[in-house]
Amino acid sequence: MEKTLLPAGKLWLVGAGPGDPDLLTLRAARLLTAADLVVHDGLVGEGVLALIPAHVERISVAKQRSRHTMKQELINDLIVREAMAGKQVVRLKGGDPFIFGRGGEELEAAREAGVACEVVPGITAAAGCAAQAGLPLTHREDASAVSFVAGQCKDLTDQDWSGLAGHGRTLVIYMGLATASAIADKLIADGVSPDLPVAVVERGTTADARVLRTLLTDLGDLVAREKVGSPALIIVGKVAARADALDCLGAPGVAANIENMRDFT
């Protein structure tokens, strides 16, 4: 008996950008309309999801700290299985697939299974949030190097962050809200000045974004007293002083007070 050959499917690892649908690439937008299945993260903006046609199947694999709708290994199995069944599968990821997006793991799974896979880059949160805040990650007077780190990794105190922040450098911390106090203590213990400016960008690139500025020594307290919510980005370095931000050093609830005042204007 002749074997029935399955139609050729393909996997696309697509960056959805930091939230604003206007920051989606044209290639990404076209793929959303041509897909058979979109498997998306929780950080993908609602405006981006609204671009997916009603007939396209959608599966959410949203992840939150310490709670996963679906483990990464199962996500790998899902997208590979659906592509091998002949579907055009878009794996839609917040920001860029290869910057703290586990896109590398998904690409490896596709390669091992012999599934065709293509990566479509997206604007990562660091670039998108900094741009909205008017904060240059590099500047001739302040910084000639930029580093990205994840702030929620296990054994944070054991990681070597030496040289990532300080004179001439900008440090961008993803997923660092829950460990903000530990991050500040770690950097100060490694020799970074407690007076180094820090900016926190909450819900960056969206209509309800907040940009708060303080000093490194106040970072943990700022996150707590202003009730900063996820997603948020922490930017450490002299360039943070250039951000269009609310100065919140030691001023309890200043951001909330300003928002309340706006409600009455």
Query: Which residues are catalytically annotated?
Result: 41, 63
Please tell me the distance from the alpha carbon of residue 218 to that of residue 50, in angstroms, as a whole number.
Answer: 39
3 state SS of 11: strand
Q: In angstroms, how far is CA 234 from the centroid of its own chain? A: 11
| Nearest-angstrom CA–CA distance, 16 and 51 | 11
Angle (CA) 166 137 197, round 5°: 45
Residues 177 and 230: beta-carbon distance below 8 Å: yes
- The strands making up 143-150's β-sheet, listed across from edge to edge, are 143-150, 168-174, 232-236, 197-202, 210-215, 246-247
- Helix/strand/coil (H/E/C) assignment for every residue in 180-200: HHHHHHHHHHCCCCCCCEEEE
Q: What are the backbone dihedrals phi and psi of residue 28, each rounded to the nearest 5 degrees, phi first?
A: -65, -45
E-only strand ranges, 33-133: 37-40, 57-60, 63-64, 67-68, 88-93, 117-120
